Amino acid sequence: MSNINSNTDVNHSNPLLEVRSLKKYFKVGRRQFLKAVDGITFHIYQGETFGLVGESGCGKSTTGRAIARLYSLTGGEILYDGMDISKFKGKAATRYAFDVQMVFQDPYASLDPRMTVESIVAEGMKIHRMYNSEQTRAKVYELLEKVGLNKEHAARFPHEFSGGQRQRIGIARALAVNPKFLVCDEPVSALDVSIQAQIINLLRDLQREFNLTYLFIAHDLSLVKYLSDRIGVMYLGSLLEVAPAEELYKNPLHPYTRALLSAIPVPDPAEESERTRILLQGDVQSPINTPEQCKFYSRCKYAEARCRERIPPLVETTEGHWIACALNKELNTDAYAI
């Protein structure tokens, strides 16, 4: 399967969003901090889709929400168009809200059950008093059509819709303020597989039409591959590998990514029977007060002393391919071949 998203509009000289050493700890006890995100660095170019994958609880939503300015940061910074988003106040904050919007994971919790579809989609326009009520209504109808619903749906309540339709409503709500950047937090993981494809296609069409930049969060690597230009792999609050989608599949370097990819079945039965699976040993560590060492240490088959010296930083091993592993370039050598 090739990448459908070979987007020619990606501007590689200009990162729209830069995340630098982002940390978000939640205080969960007297001296206990849950390190949901522990120093991750990546950037997203204008016009591209950046896929963020990882197991449940590894900090993907926290990252997305930090970008949407829902959290105050424990450390690091997030730059949008070169400006620190935590410093935005008043007008600048409003402009950021126009530019950066979010599509949520749970189609049942992300729409207010007390509001009609019309007022849900119109919410952003109302908050910022963008149009008069007639124009707002017209815009709502237009947006509903854009996401594959119609204006008869406007007067209904969320509980009358299926999960896929609800997700479309959520997308229309986000698009209403004409954003440039969408944080899609697992927008399809709660949906049936057949519906997933529809929503993915919708997101891809909208991206082309409005020249959107996506941060696409998922826990399923195969899904992200289909949609993303570049992919970041997270584990327990750390970003372990970042590479272009094709490259990540053809040449995964980080031991965790290799294990993840080996778990995805391939369609060809002959190839499938040849394939070696890397089984992960050990358990996922608790995210509470994790030590300053490689987060994958407890499960890595290559683990050695230097892995415990610090959290390995993300470094570029080959052009555009970054990994956070103490072994770094050695992973590319025969000794560590799969």
Ligand X SMILES: Nc1ncnc2c1ncn2[C@@H]1O[C@H](COP(=O)(O)OP(=O)(O)OP(=O)(O)O)[C@@H](O)[C@H]1O
Site residues, Mg ion (CB under 5 A): 61
Under rule CB under 6 A, residue 311 binds ligand SF4: no
In this complex, which beta carbon is closest to ligand X, that of residue 28 or of residue 338? Answer: 28
Residues that bind other proteins in the complex, under the rule CB under 8 A: 65, 68-70, 93-94, 97-98, 100-102, 104-106, 109-115, 123-124, 127-128, 155-157, 159, 170, 173-174, 177
**59, 170, 252, 255: which one contacts ligand X (CB under 6 A)?**
59
Under rule CB under 6 A, residue 336 binds ligand SF4: no
Q: Smallest gap, in angstroms, from Cβ of residue 200 to ligand SF4? A: 31
Name the phi and psi angles at 248, rounded to 5: -60, -40
Distance CA 141, CA 143 (A): 5
In this complex, which beta carbon is closest to ligand SF4, that of residue 68 or of residue 240? Answer: 240
Binding mask 286-305 for ligand X (x = CB under 6 A): -x------------------
Contact 100, 181 (CB under 8 A): yes
CB count within 10 Å of CB 82 equals 9
Binding mask 23-42 for ligand X (x = CB under 6 A): ---x-x-----x-x------
**Residue 48 structure tokens:** 């591209």
Query: Under rule CB under 6 A, which residues in 243-282 are in contact with ligand X?
Result: none
Under rule CB under 6 A, residue 296 binds ligand SF4: yes
Name the phi and psi angles at 20, rounded to 5: -120, 115
Residue 36 contact partner, candidates ligand SF4, ligand X, Mg ion, none, CB within 5 to 8 A by sort of partner: ligand X
